[in-house]
Structure 1
């Protein structure tokens, strides 16, 4: 065996010392005793920012094709909840204003963690299914015309290797305004995995209805807003609820405005936009009735809180009136117990007012509010591409903007702790400029990598271990001395997946 020698390479401002090696196919393992003394080199975070208005500034990498937005971040320095950000940027107009329409996982600092497929997606979040941590998201076609703001699609389940374990593709036999038939009929608004290994999905069905009570025709048409509880693997319907069967259309606050005349232009009188289970009951929100309903397991209304009058709870406080959206979903763990039934002595009180006086935001649609395990609250502003994390005292601790107002949206946004090791391999690119070389490595979705073991040699068949490079986020850059390079992920102190071999 040749003696160990030391080689030094200066790459721009990056100094990376390699330990030379025996160039054999049976080179030392990065975990073996003979190499344990090799230092952990720093490496360097690698990404470039591209700015081409009106597209929001985005990141580009050498080793991966993804182009996530650059987060514009402000903080007050106080502790944030642990976890990663889950968003689904999508366009709101014909203007190309975002570079990456996909389900994304990012860190608080704006580092990409996982870039999903390029699809129109909503409700990208962590869930538990059959005792295992998974990710779910809706994807499909968002419709226009009379059906604007609705969608028809499926729900994808990913395990902690990002392997697709289920595609829930429900068929409800829906009637659409133009009689188009869609392969999968889950609406984009809701796809919520319950604690009983079922999934709640919303749907919109064009339905003939007497509208004389609201000044419309007797033979009018509406969107009947439905939700279903489904067994994911078989798509078997376990429960069905219809707004039209439980709520009179005269309760709607949505004007007819020329709709409801025929099947082509149904009146969107109810607009279901969220459903969660609370124990064996259901909490359902109607945007256009300005009402949240608690339902029994059979679908009967237990109580309603209405944004204008207060509903069953009596008059609302002056600062508690609401319109359109109203949703405070329970965190996956633990689940919120069922709310008590109302009585004449159960008034509505304001528990917390979350707003940023330095950054007033007016969003007409979408959004979510998530109470985080540490007592903080994450708010996604839906139509406005902003996330804010508030502390227990309602102080604004974190703001992240990922696009310009009214051009890009994220239907909902979440924050979860998530641990994953992909089944794919890390991606490596090597570039050479004269005698200097640099390697760029990324592994889409990996959360547990602590370092990279680096192997170099004069050819693909002659690689030997030269040292380790510290993990520096989605893409790590490190110095390269030889022609060919391969890296191996170190996960929990153990050897993980290997990258491709890259040569200059």
Structure 2
């Protein structure tokens, strides 16, 4: 085990030495997203990269929900604020993008809201959670949704996590009769009405999830309201055929719950829980437990095995795929994904995404280590992207998803002058399907237009040198297959 003081010292040193990660800057937009350092060694699955970078090593104007293409070009940047869990989901049969934004606190969770946007990037739902919650500093929040989960179910409800403080008798684990503890909770919220329709509390199920099974030991400094004991650390919840699947990081376990919240079974990273272990099934400090191909006799379980915390190291982080056999009561290791040329020890965050319609491709995000890797069906790394300095920049999760974005806003145009004359810079934030630009001059009476330049689309922003013009007003048009699909305002210079 790595001593806590060593890890903390290294983290502090890296933070002090960190410099701003290389970032994009544009003439037609104020965005400054971090540049992706990409290495591709094989075919990848189609789709864009969805990131929520945050931290002291990137520009403030790059801390936002961000979509990149496979070459690392910006496609869309959203509101400039800390975000988490930015991804594509389905709502009422249509693709939407969702992300959490709000306040993160040093204890490792947050308070905020979930934003749901349509394919024009207009917000169609804002989900909040109110109620009787206690916070470490006693303050009240507009919404208590935690950053860890925002999962749209097939019933068009939203599953979110929440961290609530309460006082508890901790004498059974060496504490005092009344100490502060964080209760790991989740809520199922009706998106259309913002009403809670179900909730769950880990503390209410101590018979199935005893406090003494937590791997996060109660320290002498924990137990106050300002520094409560975090026995559970809930970090994912999703719907299943018969209820819910919950990940409790500090228990090294996933719990299959009935619809009434009772625990039907537990899979544990240290001893298998309710299952006999077959092959490599161990995991620790995990994130993002999900179920695939669920039947009444078994299913596939995937997770990101951090195997590390900021003060504890079990080994390199891996992506795991496990087979759960409910008849034989076994958990069998199927895949353990690691890049042998770049073993990573991710102290927090991260996810494992099975890419749809692929031959076994998986995208893994390493959370607190700002890297993304795509593995093929043989376990080879075919895509690697870095977007910041370790321990200073992170993205809670990252995804590769197909996405078609349009916009209710016009293309952006900026005009500059250099020694060679006029240069037009144009972009269209979030629009995925256009391939070229045309530049038009405007006559003195603004009734006659003439094409004076054109160019194929180049990444997020395209520039067209125009030389010395006889006009001082232009506009641009975005085209797809030769057809105009959007025009900018007229810019006079």
**What TM-score range do you get, normalising by the shorter chain?**
0.7 to 0.9
Q: Taking CA–CA contacts closer than 8 Å with sequence separation of 6 or more, which of the two structures ends up with the larger relative contact order?
A: 1
Which residue does the alignment assign to 2:29?
A: 64
Comparing 243-252 and 118-127, the one that deviates more: 243-252
Query: What is aligned with 1:495?
Result: 484
- Tell me: CA distance 1:97–1:162, structure 2 relative to 1, closer, same or farther (3 Å): closer
Q: Secondary structure at the match of 1:59?
A: coil
How far apart are the structure 1 equivalents of 2:445 and 2:270? 71
1:86 paired with 2:75, answer no
Shift of 1:439: 1.2
* 1:133-191 alpha-carbon deviations (Å, 9 max, x no partner): 111000000013xxx11100000011100011111111132111221110011001111
Matched, 1:158 2:117: yes
For the pair shown, the structure with the greater C-alpha radius of gyration is 1
Task: After TM superposition, give the deviation of residue 250 of structure 1 in Å.
Answer: 1.4
Q: For 2:232 and 2:445, how far apart are their aligned partners in 1?
A: 63
Structure 1 residues 316 and 245: alpha-carbon distance in aligned structure 2, compared to 1, 3 A threshold: farther
Structure 2 unmatched ranges of 5 or more: 1-16, 299-323
Corresponding residue number in structure 2 for 1:143:
105
Query: How many angstroms apart in 1 are the aligned matches of 2:58 and 2:35?
Result: 16
1:108-123 aligned at under 5 Å gives the runs 108-123=70-85
Please name the residue that 1:4 is paired with: none
Task: Write the distance in 1 (CA, Å) between the matches of 2:294 and 2:387.
Answer: 31
Q: 1:426 aligns with which of 411, 424, 443?
A: 411
| Shift in CA distance, 194/464, structure 1 to aligned 2, threshold 3 Å | same
Deviation by residue 1:454-489 (Cα, 9 ceiling, x = unmatched): 211354725513264322221111232533221122
Q: Pick from 225, 231, 247 the counterpart of residue 184 of structure 2.
A: 225
Specify every segment of 5 or more residues in structure 1 that has no aligned partner in the other structure, as ranges.
Answer: 1-51
SS in 2 for 1:127: strand
1:207 alignment partner, one of 144, 153, 166:
166
Residue in 2 aligned with 1:363? 346
Aligned residues of 2:18 and 2:389 also touching (Cα < 8 A)? no
**TM-score computed with the length of structure 1 as normaliser:** 0.83
Matched residue, 1:276: 238
Q: Which runs of 4+ in 1 moved over 4 A?
A: 95-99, 335-339, 341-344
Q: Name the count of aligned residue pairs.
A: 443
Aligned partners of 2:355 and 2:362 also within 8 Å: yes
Query: 1:414 matched to which residue of 2?
Result: 399
- TM-score w.r.t. length of structure 2: 0.85
Among 125, 129, 150, which residue is 1:170 paired with? Answer: 129
**Cα distance in 1 for residues equivalent to 2:445 and 2:456:** 24
Q: Is the CA contact 1:192–1:199 (under 8 Å) kept in the aligned structure 2?
A: yes
Partner of 2:254: 292
Q: What per-residue deviation string (whole Å, max 9, x for no partner) do you get for residues 315-354 of structure 1?
A: 453x3211111434368xxx75577375573322221121
Q: What's the counterpart of residue 399 of structure 1?
A: 384
How many angstroms apart in 2 are the aligned matches of 1:364 and 1:435?
52
Q: Secondary structure at the match of 1:60?
A: coil
* Residue matched to 1:26: none
